[in-house]
A and B are shown apart, each in its own frame.
Chain A
Amino acid sequence: MNRSGSKGWLGALPLLAFFALVFGVPAIALVAGAFTADGRPSLANLSQSLQGGYLVAMLGSVKLSAVVALLGAVLGTFLAYAVVTSRLTFLREAVLTASGVLANFGGVPLAFFWIATLGNSGVVSGLVGLPSGSLYTFWGLVVTYLYFSIPLMVLVMAPALDGLRPQWREAAANNGATAWHYWRFVALPVLTPSMLGGVVLLFGSAFSAYATANAMVGTVVPLVTLKIASALTGDVLIGYENIALALSLDMVVVAGLVMAIYLPLQKRSSRWLH
């Protein structure tokens, strides 16, 4: 086998070559462009991308993603716990199936859903007397993003909550632990890696979202993805492309930091829950 297949690893070559070309070349172009101004190597783009309106947009994106991640994690965990402890099998199945669908429901259609509901001529906004334009704000985006973030958290947390053995609770009770002790010293430590992993996943998906925000708020709410898009499509002066590249580099750094937290956690969470 080994002799006959000594060249077998060549099967991996097309994918590696493809990746080097289609992912590697744009990555190099991105970094090179971010460090070039007026044809010369320079840090001007990067420093400019961390100033003024660009900094506001970056902070706006981070704040939006953090709020969505925390709210989505808390609400999603509650919903997952309600589902997991429910004895109604059909309800459990229904919620988990719906979560699978809604966690994948993003992009442009999601924006139109909420515009039809709470937008200026929306069906519900008239009924509840919502002031004009209140959907097209920071909190409007939060409400919209939670529509896929909560289901995503349910999908992350349901298996983790399922993995909590009833025996652990009983063993704790036999040793004189109260419900609070059980949660504080047994359940939460076991759940923490999954929860943090979920928070990071939610943060990442909200941080990189562009289509929903673009279709819904345009440029009303400053977000880094919207800034990159407007710098790329050239409705500003020429030469701003490299600022878009610098902003992109900032984004990759933030997303990379976030993933660097996520991946080790995901490995740890599988220790108890199997």
Chain B
Amino acid sequence: MAALTGLERVSGGSSRPRVWRGAVFLLAAAYFLIPLGASLWYTIYTPATGVSFAAYGSLWTADGFVPSLLLSLSLAVATIVLVLLLALPAMLAVRLFAPRLRPLMEVLCTLPLVVPPITFVAGIGTSLRTGTDVLAPTPFWATLIAVQDPAFPVVLVLAYVVLVLPFVYRSLDAGLRTMDVRTLVEAARNLGASWPYVLVRVVVPNLRSALASASFLTLALVLGEYTVASLLGYEPFAVWIVTVAGSKGQLSVAVSIISLLLIWLLLLAVSSAFGKEKGK
């Protein structure tokens, strides 16, 4: 009866807890699976036409689908590049040279989690408006206008970098913990490697899975982001879905199912990226 090594699992001794557990699983399964099944049924069945997969087929030809998806994807790529270029050197610098900056870094990278996105948008919108008024006579005005170009709104990339920073920080921090950065960098520097060489050939290869998971998380976040984009008046993917929902109910639910599958695939990619690291 007594566990000797602490490795044994606690087993529900009597049969009563097992009934209780079964009930919990049944209720949970009902709550989580019924909406899933109902949504699927909603997309493939109408009383008029019966069962058909037309909603999924019409997706690719729907007006605005391709441009909005392309916009979201290019925003995601730009966000990933910018956030990694900013965060990786900063985290390395703090680790190697300025450990006293570490608490500051931690606070900065947690702050975006505390601030609800909608309040962040309110702040951005106000600064853009006042900025346009104040900077009108200066050359910066053109920059401010370029940043808000509807074809590729740089302002969204900037906002997304802030929003994903907590998640990127956590994955990179976890990755940096698994390697002895100081020794690796010192060894490379003593052998005469330049700083860019150290970064590209020593640090990045060791962080491959952490970088991959940070990128996938960013991709998932940017593809699903609605609040910032819609309130600043742009139409990437998540905003387009709402626009199309008014006229095509089935289509919007079909896109929702696809986005659930996408999240699942991206998280699978994240966990396999970290799984490989553990296996090493």
Contacts and interface: CB of A to CB of B under 8 A. Distances in A.
Given A16-B90, A85-B12, A259 B114 contact: yes
A236 to B, nearest CB: 14
B33 to A, nearest CB: 10
Interface stretch (B64-72, B73-81, B93-101, B207-215): B93-101
Closest 8 CB pairs of A and B: A26-B123, A11-B93, A208-B116, A8-B97, A109-B256, A248-B119, A15-B90, A9-B98
Interface string A97-112: 0101110111111101
Contacts of A98: 32
B38 A19 contact: no
B6 A104 contact: no
Interface in A80-129: 82, 85-87, 91, 95, 98, 100-102, 104-110, 112-118, 121-124
6 contacts: A11-B90, A116-B256, A215-B245, A225-B118, A229-B231, A255-B115
Contacts of A11: 89-90, 92-93, 97
B255 A22 contact: no
B116 A252 contact: yes
A95 B111 CA distance: 31
A265 interface: no
Interface in B246-280: 249, 252-253, 255-257, 259-260, 263-264, 267, 271
Interface string A1-40: 1001110111111111011001101111110010000000
Contacts of A204: 113-114
Interface residues of B, number: 86
Q: Is the interface of A mostly helix, strand, loop or mixed?
A: helix
Given A87-B9, A114-B35, 19 more contacts: A8-B96, A14-B85, A14-B86, A15-B89, A27-B123, A30-B123, A87-B11, A100-B267, A112-B245, A113-B39, A115-B253, A165-B6, A166-B9, A207-B116, A211-B238, A232-B121, A248-B118, A248-B119, A251-B118
Interface stretch (B17-25, B135-143, B173-181): B17-25
B124 interface: yes
A155 B97 CA distance: 35
A245 B126 contact: yes
B242 interface: yes
B186 interface: yes
Interface residues of A, number: 86
Best-surrounded residue of A14, A15, A170, A256 (most CB of chain B within 10 A): A15
Given A109-B241, A109-B255, A232-B231, A123 B42 contact: yes
Contacts of B271: 100
A245 B118 contact: no
Contact of B119 (A15, A113, A251): A251
B109 to A, nearest CB: 9
Contacts of B9: 85, 87, 166
B120 interface: yes
B252 A26 contact: no
B117 interface: yes
A175 interface: no
A247 B242 CA distance: 25
Contacts of A1: 186, 189
Given A109-B224, A122-B38, A101 B263 contact: yes
B17 A85 contact: yes
Given A18-B161, A109-B256, A79 B122 contact: no
B162 A104 contact: no
